[in-house]
């Protein structure tokens, strides 16, 4: 059986050049098909620690779509292999049974109550 790898790469990005709020993700994740991928997103008490987190997936050449909202809810039509959780100032997106079509750009987003802006992490796949 041939193994295929799915590579997900992440780059921190903050909305607004003046914004001081920062969310942190790992630079990249690579797993074989069928394995579990966990992507972390760490913020602060003014964003993730205080509110909800959304995870957005963007497949190549397509519009972004939300895969997790309110930290742990899936919109209709999103496979149950996607799940989200939040603890303190950190959030996690977990993809179980990784499939080739999961290779995508992922964004972690959270409202920052101090800056009154959405703080976003942009992921490149």
Per domain, the residue ranges of the chain are: 36-124
Q: For residue 4, what pLDDT is reported?
A: 41
| 100: helix, strand or coil | helix
Q: Domain 36-124 falls in which CATH fold?
A: Immunoglobulin-like (2.60.40)
The upper half-sphere exposure of residue 51, i.e. CA atoms within 13 Å in the direction of its Cβ, equals: 16
Yes or no: say if 22 and 14 are a contact pair by the CB < 8 Å rule.
yes
**What is the value of pTM for the model shown?**
0.76
Query: Tokens standing for 27?
Result: 């630079």
Rounded distance, CA 116 to CA 84, Å? 24
Whether 101 shows a pLDDT value over 60: the answer reads yes
Q: Token match 């098909």: residue?
A: 33
Residue 123 buriedness (CB in 10 A; 0-12 / 13-18 / 19+): buried
Q: What's the pLDDT at 41? A: 87
Mean pLDDT over 20-37 rounds to 76
Structure tokens at 29: 């994740």
Compute the average pLDDT of residues 64-68. Answer: 95
Q: Residue 37 pLDDT > 50, yes or no?
A: yes
CA–CA gap between residue 52 and residue 26 (Å, rounded): 20
Instruction: Give me the mean pLDDT over the 25-32 stretch.
Output: 75
Select the more confidently predicted residue: 41 or 69: 69
Q: Is 102 helix (H, G, I), strand (E, B) or coil?
A: helix
Looking at residue 121, its pLDDT comes to 55
User: Are the CB atoms for 122 and 22 separated by under 8 Å?
Assistant: no
């Amino acid at each position: 059986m041939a193994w295929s790898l799915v590579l997900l790469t992440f780059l921190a990005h903050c909305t607004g050049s003046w914004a001081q709020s920062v969310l942190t993700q790992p630079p990249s994740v690579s797993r074989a098909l069928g394995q579990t991928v966990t992507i972390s997103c760490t913020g602060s008490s003014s964003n993730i620690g205080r509110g909800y987190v959304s995870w957005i997936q963007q497949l190549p050449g397509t519009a972004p779509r939300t895969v997790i909202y309110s930290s742990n809810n899936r919109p209709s039509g999103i496979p149950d292999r996607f799940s989200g959780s939040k603890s303190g100032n950190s959030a996690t997106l977990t993809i179980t049974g990784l499939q080739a079509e999961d290779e995508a750009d992922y964004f972690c987003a959270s409202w920052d109550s101090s800056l009154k802006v959405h703080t976003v992490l942009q992921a490149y796949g």
